[in-house]
Amino acid sequence: MNHWQIERTAEYHRQEILEEAQQIQLEKLALESRVRCPTRIELTIISFATWMISKGRQLQKRYEFTAVNCGNPTQVASQTKG
């Protein structure tokens, strides 16, 4: 075979490989950017987690101590007595 023919074939194969690599990168990008809909189980878990967080906040508000006078405990006790 001719030396130039070998070079052309090698360059042709290099171009094919580069095009395939670019196509793979585009496919990966398309898969990553695709919108994924959550399944029924995932939706249930998300709603359960949201419910737990809201109940936790309600309990925290209910049992939270107001920290108006956070000074010396004897001062706070004397202020409540008097």
Domain ranges of the chain: 1-36, 39-82
Q: Please report, in tens digits, the pLDDT of each residue of the chain (82 residues total).
A: 577 888 899 999 999 999 999 999 999 998 888 777 889 999 999 999 999 998 888 877 777 766 555 565 555 555 555 4
Helices (H), the chain: 3-33, 40-63, 73-81
- Rounded to the nearest 5 degrees, what angle is found at the Cα of 42, between the Cα atoms of 38 and 48? 135
Q: From CA 29, how far away is CA 23, in angstroms rounded? A: 10
